[in-house]
Amino acid sequence: MSASQISQLASLISDSVATLERLTLESQTSIPDLNSFGFDPSSEAFRSAPGVAEAVKVAAAACMQLAAVLLPPTDSLYKLALGEHHSFAVRTCLEANVTEILREAGPEGLHVNEIAAKCGLDPSKLGRIMRYLVIHHIYREVKPYVFTNNRISGTLDTGKPSKEIFSDPESKYESTGFPALISHHLDLDHKCSAIAWDVLKDPVLGHSNEITDTIFSKGLNTDTTYWKFFQQPDNLFRHRRFGYAMKGMGAIQSPDLVFKAFDWNSLKPDSTVVDVGGGIGVTISPLAERYPDLNIVIQDLPIVVEEGKKFWSQKYPHALSSNRVKLQAQDFFDVQPVKNASVFFLKHILHNWPKPYMAKILRRLREAATPETTLIVIDNVLPYACRRSSDSETLSDNGGTYYKEAPEPLLPNYGAVSNSPYTLDLTMMFYFNAQEHTVLGLQSLLESTGWRLIKFHSVDPKNDFLQSVEAVPL
């Protein structure tokens, strides 16, 4: 890379920081201090100002790319290759309740001997683990061997008294969201990653598209599926923790996501919308409230439908009693019973299944579709790491492109700033032999099952890659 390109990265950082300072001043918000004691969700207010998200992405991506240029290549690769050390260190502090202990100690911090005494670990080992996290800006060492929370470590805080957690560890993650999610990944994904190469190189397992022949099934030594694994008595804690994690993630979902997914005003009164695999109907419920002239069918397995009836009876009893909202027991691999749907709606369904299973779900819907039916798929659509050509990722007419490329010389998908959806793609590989979508892969899948991709809708300002994909029958 030439000096001029390094200067370009430096300019992107400088210009983006200037933009952030101007926008936060205008919105009367501020960028929080990394050394803040703990994490306060209200400190994220600065991100809501228009233009801030883009400036943050450009500045962060440029910083990461500049570091990749300037550091020895062996350092960059070594850090990535030894990622299990990061996981080990975070899991130790999470499961030992270090963040809660430090929260109770206050901003002055606590000596590692006292932290270790409270959580029952060897102080010498714990101190080294915590210092390892500090160099990655998780926790702070304010004096030799005296540690305190910072903004990042604070995200691991359950908010519960440490004594309560130590006395009842099974309830630690109840109603916690993010800490539950991190614990889930550090438990299951770490076991998956340890066995992943052995599975991938296997001439049979490495090419499997079955939901029982997965990296997960080998890593957790089970012959069942991911979902059935959680139903086993020995995995009750894991099942509950996963439920708390998903509820927590759902709580931070954009409340108007469903309205951004499609032009609902284009539907005629009494049109039927089918939420395929819709759970108890939380995502679709705002639609029922705003559009009382639509008929909504929420389909899922029988046990979920029964829970859904309770939810609607409590939250929207009139919608249920008037028969405008129906909860229907239905396996999406079976013949679709609704033949007059104006919209089939699938949110976070396809990415949980290998390609042959995805195709079967889509074919069942195509068999039941009318010529006027619209298919809506909400999932991540991942850009390639190269600049797109003029036609490879562009839709004709008003479909447009589904993401804005980062400025040169950044990677067009903003590089490591976009880590989360690409990590989720590997997680889907681990658990299900499944994947997130690229636009060309999704387009090919849809066409092979009788659908034509016509439009993208961005549905979440916090995640550029979460898209509502609109398709119609071929």
Per-residue pLDDT, 396: 44
- Residues near 454 by beta carbon (within 8 Å), at least 6 away in sequence: 395, 397, 399, 470, 471, 472
Share of the chain above pLDDT 90, in %: 88
| pLDDT digit string, tens, across residues 145-163 | 999 999 999 999 999 999 9
Locate the DSSP E strands across 366-412: 374-380
The candidate with the shortest Cα–Cα distance to 208, out of 357, 348, 333, is 357
Q: For the residues 304-333, what does the mean pLDDT come to?
A: 94
pLDDT tens-digit profile of 121-132? 999 999 999 999
Question: How many residues in total does the chain contain?
Answer: 474
Q: How far apart are the first and last CA of the chain?
A: 47
Pairing label, strands 343-347, 272-276: parallel
Decide if 326 contacts 298 (C-beta within 8 A).
yes
Report the alpha-carbon distance of residue 58 to residue 405 in Å, rounded. 11
| 3-state secondary structure (DSSP) of residue 108 | coil
Residue range 178-216, pLDDT digits in tens: 999 999 999 999 999 999 999 999 999 999 999 999 999
Average pLDDT over residues 313-340: 95
Please pick, among 85, 111, 185, 351, the residue that the annotation labels catalytic: 351
In the chain, the largest separation of any two C-alpha atoms, in whole Å, equals: 71
Confidence (pLDDT) at 256: 84
Residue type, 104: E
pLDDT mean across residues, the chain: 93
- 255 pLDDT tier (thresholds 50, 70, 90): confident
- The yes-or-no verdict on residue 3 having pLDDT over 90 is no
Residue 19 has pLDDT above 80, yes or no: yes
pLDDT tens track for 451-471: 999 999 988 877 789 999 999
Structure-block tokens of residue 14:
């400088």
- pLDDT of 422 strictly over 90: yes
| Contact status, residue 437 vs residue 382, Cβ threshold 8 Å | yes
Q: What's the average model confidence in pLDDT over 25-53? A: 94
Residue 139 Rama label (left phi>0; alpha psi -120 to 50; beta): left
- Within 10 angstroms of residue 359's Cβ, the number of other Cβ atoms is 16
CB 349 within 8 A of CB 405: no
CB atoms within 10 A of CB 33: 10
400 backbone φψ class: left, alpha, beta (φ>0; ψ -120 to 50): left
State yes or no: pLDDT of 394 exceeds 60. Answer: no
Cα–chain center distance at 314: 29
Strand, helix or coil at 110?
strand
Sheet holding 451-458, edge to edge: 325-329, 295-300, 272-276, 343-347, 374-380, 466-473, 451-458
pLDDT band of residue 398 (cuts 50, 70, 90) is: very low
Q: Are 112 and 145 in contact (CB under 8 A)?
A: yes
> In which band, very low, low, confident or very high, does the pLDDT at 390 lie, cut at 50, 70 and 90?
low
Q: Inform me whether the pLDDT recorded for 376 exceeds 60.
A: yes
Active site includes 351?
yes
Alpha helices in 96-156 (DSSP H): 98-105, 112-119, 123-134
Query: Is pLDDT above 60 for 45?
Result: yes
Q: pLDDT tens, 80-98?
A: 999 999 999 999 999 999 9
Residue type for position 74 = T
pLDDT of residue 343: 98
Whether 251 has a pLDDT exceeding 70, the answer reads: no
> For residue 30, how many C-alpha atoms fall within 13 Å in the half-sphere facing its CB?
5
